[in-house]
A and B are shown apart, each in its own frame.
Chain A
């Protein structure tokens, strides 16, 4: 894979400036985030491909593996507004969206924007809030807008939600229904760092935490341009067919399979993946790299022993590439 890429870029005949620029932006963000986050290179890339594909990310794992830190580091790398919502059982929808407050001086109601109005919104422990509050966030994610007291307001662009949820203490949580999970482009498991990485991480953060010193490396405009560039990447017929075949496989081999929205998300994330690889066209390998994180959480397997990830892996193993 590496060799082929080298060959490609060395020839460089089709590499347009926009592609190079977008690639530079993303590479810089990744490098920046890696100042803070040790290991998890793949997960960082996954978050970025989701963001490039105009999607949102759900980070799920046990507490203390750096979910919030990853989200903050990414947010901090952009020169945009970063908002954070800590979801709790008593959090109200208006705590997320904002509320109309009566201004006694002007004798009018004024809209007090909630934390949803940011370019990168970190929703911590989203599964601890009741469904009503969750749905306020989800509406914004899907529609790019929120409705408060009948008035619809658009959230800024670019807009990315990075939510986290814990997999412990399941008894006091409100699990996201499948319909809402579907709205996250990806669900990413961070996992524990290996021994070397953990030691390295401890060394870095034992004193002053480097996140405090993290500065943005790209402007919102640059990132928005990168998104637009990626959106134009070629996704040829064979790939659309491949994505469809994968989705169909999960539908045939699970209780609930991947929706068309899921297939679309897969193609979009694959476009981001192509950019990371310096290409302006998608290849089957991009789909295969993205499939697990994009599709697994949309699948409800037939049996309890299976996970969505198993079904997706089976799909990748059984569906002919071309």
Chain B
């Protein structure tokens, strides 16, 4: 038995093999960073338990096979697992031929498209998971940390490229990977864990440097991982319109007063741009692709409808082509395509002065009809539009169920939720982006928000009650400047809700309270005019020759639409169907609940007040990173010896006084340090002070101090004057 083996064995018996334990832990953290992203996917689309089971089985299999399986076989096993997984995923895909889907997916994913856009992300995650997990853990157990980190890191890199791994997750993975490599090295060389503190220092540098750099103005666009709340100030419009397939719910936001479109239409309506079907807890993702618009008539909505013709004149460059729901015919949009939800996408960027025409069929279903629509949803609609992340807190569903307890039909439920949100939340653009589920936060922690929050929450609540609903973005009707003309500004950007009714299709609901929203918009326009911001007005607006009659900010048809579903009040039957009134008890209860949690809300930084939100608590991950950084910094500082030297420098120069004996001794210690460190050599252990001062041929003042100290120490004889003299002499010498 070699010495090393014996040492190993002794250690195994004696205690935990710390380098190995920490190295394995670091590998697990790296792998965990990648798995965390996957878990988020699976959480959004459901079946997280299956995912966890697959991870567990892979880990167990790797543990069992680590000792018996040769490395190459293991690699082959992993590759086969991956191939099988992807193959299974392909069998789950409908529509496109599998291989095209796969290639298209891979290309678009690596180009920074979120994986959530894949329709069947669940199958993808479940299929892809086993291979990397198995291989990573296999290598780690065989002490091959480099390949282990390479596999886990490669998986994480993939998600970094797709943009699904956020900065904190990425940083965690990278730091843990580096730590795993470093610790693995220590483990292989059989060195004690205490020496691995350099790894800690490196980790700290890796954490601190990117955070510090992101504070530099030039790169401040990308907020550092440890600097929460540095979200770019954005406009509602930019948030809603620039988001192509992924819409992240943001924090404080502003309004742009610039004119975007001028609409000529008989009716003012919600100018719809697009809808989102997949809710991720912190935003929205649109799945499914587009198809070419072939200058034919698109499907009309089922049920009664009326035709609305609109002409949009583009006043500012735009990538979107708003239209009233539901467009059936489009002209003036070359290369336009149609999303699978029915919205129209322009083929190229629309320039100022361009115009296009849209004919829409606006649903004319009456509340009574909607109320009686029933729940006979098509399977595809039901599965796609009642999806909620598995991690959605139960209380969201509970609250929705309680609110809608008296509502018997989906329509009533939708109205109850809509009205409750309108009545019980304040409109504010100045909110902090909550952590965790947006709907949950808006329901239980926040007391104010803007359209995105209202709409997100309403969709979530309806989906929790199995009512198919989706999140819709677009513009409100705009400022009416003439009988049939409206000016749509950036600040008209809006988000609302569509609820599906069998036999009638998608019907618009808007949970955002109309009054406050309009007030904010009007203020913004006024301010912009006062500040002489350009492009606020067209020739038609803001001037003296305004179109006078009914100049409300939200034109007539929409005033009612904002209160209820878009076309309800226009219908003759509207009076016959009472909107289900909300049980008063519930409202009070909920208001109380809001007030009670409102206290928490400020505590968690979700408050909206102008008195400055409190800094939000860091997440556990951020906290861990900060902790590693702090520990590393501490170790680094200690190893650099700076505090020691600083303390010494101070200690050497300034002597607090106490009793003479202590003073003399301390003065002497300072002298000795000064002589040893700065001028000659330290006194040897076996050398008396007399021998020392002779050997270094010390200054007479030093000799004098030594003599005073000698008497003090060996005769117990020291006076205040001695102490004064010793301290004075040493001060002279060292300063």
- Residue A90 is within 8 A (CB to CB) of chain B in the complex: no
Give 25 CB contacts A-B under 8 Å.
A1-B691, A3-B703, A4-B690, A4-B703, A4-B710, A7-B703, A7-B707, A8-B707, A14-B715, A14-B717, A234-B716, A236-B713, A236-B715, A280-B715, A281-B711, A282-B714, A283-B714, A284-B689, A285-B688, A316-B686, A319-B686, A320-B685, A321-B685, A321-B686, A321-B688
- Residue A317 is within 8 A (CB to CB) of chain B in the complex: yes
Interface string of B668-709 (1 = CB under 8 A from A): 000000000000000001111111011000001001101100
Question: Smallest distance from the beta carbon of A268 to chain B beta carbons, Å?
Answer: 16
CA distance A319 to B688 in the complex (A): 11
| CB–CB B716/A283 < 8 A | no
- Residue A238 is within 8 A (CB to CB) of chain B in the complex: yes
Known: A1-B694, A8-B707. Is A236-B714 also a contact (CB below 8 A)?
Answer: yes
Question: Smallest distance from the beta carbon of B217 to chain A beta carbons, Å?
Answer: 58
CA distance A63 to B266 in the complex (A): 141
> Number of B residues whose C-beta is below 8 Å from A?
21
Question: CB within 8 Å of B: which residues of A?
Answer: 1, 3-4, 7-8, 14, 234, 236, 238-239, 280-285, 288, 316-321
Which of A239, A317, A319 meets B714, CB within 8 Å? A239
Contacts of B687 in A (CB 8 A): 321
Which of A8, A234, A236, A284 meets B688, CB within 8 Å? A284
Chain B residue nearest in CB terms to A315: B686
Known: A319-B686, A321-B687, A321-B688. Is A4-B693 also a contact (CB below 8 A)?
Answer: yes
CA distance A219 to B639 in the complex (A): 68
Chain A residue nearest in CB terms to B691: A285
CA distance A156 to B370 in the complex (A): 135
| CB–CB B714/A234 < 8 A | yes
CA distance A284 to B700 in the complex (A): 21
Contacts of B706 in A (CB 8 A): 4
Main SS at interface, chain B: helix
Question: CB within 8 Å of A: which residues of B?
Answer: 685-691, 693-694, 700, 703-704, 706-707, 710-711, 713-717
Sample of 13 more A-B contacts, CB < 8 Å, known A14-B715, A318-B686:
A3-B694, A4-B690, A4-B706, A4-B707, A4-B710, A7-B704, A236-B714, A236-B716, A238-B714, A285-B691, A321-B685, A321-B686, A321-B689
Chain B residue nearest in CB terms to A279: B715
Which of A282, A283, A316, A319 meets B690, CB within 8 Å? A283
Contacts of A284 in B (CB 8 A): 688-689, 714
Chain A residue nearest in CB terms to B692: A321
Contacts of A320 in B (CB 8 A): 685-686
Chain A residue nearest in CB terms to B719: A13
| CB–CB B686/A285 < 8 A | no
CA distance A14 to B297 in the complex (A): 120
| CB–CB A234/B700 < 8 A | no
Contacts of B717 in A (CB 8 A): 14, 281
Contacts of A239 in B (CB 8 A): 714
Question: Smallest distance from the beta carbon of A176 to chain B beta carbons, Å?
Answer: 31
Question: Smallest distance from the beta carbon of A279 to chain B beta carbons, Å?
Answer: 8
Question: Smallest distance from the beta carbon of A317 to chain B beta carbons, Å?
Answer: 5
CA distance A316 to B685 in the complex (A): 10
CA distance A320 to B688 in the complex (A): 9
Chain B residue nearest in CB terms to A239: B714
Give the 7 A-B CB pairs with smallest separation, nearest first: A281-B715, A320-B685, A284-B688, A1-B690, A4-B707, A285-B688, A285-B690
Chain B residue nearest in CB terms to A280: B715
CA distance A214 to B734 in the complex (A): 55
Contacts of B689 in A (CB 8 A): 284, 321
Chain B residue nearest in CB terms to A1: B690
CA distance A288 to B700 in the complex (A): 24
| CB–CB A234/B715 < 8 A | yes
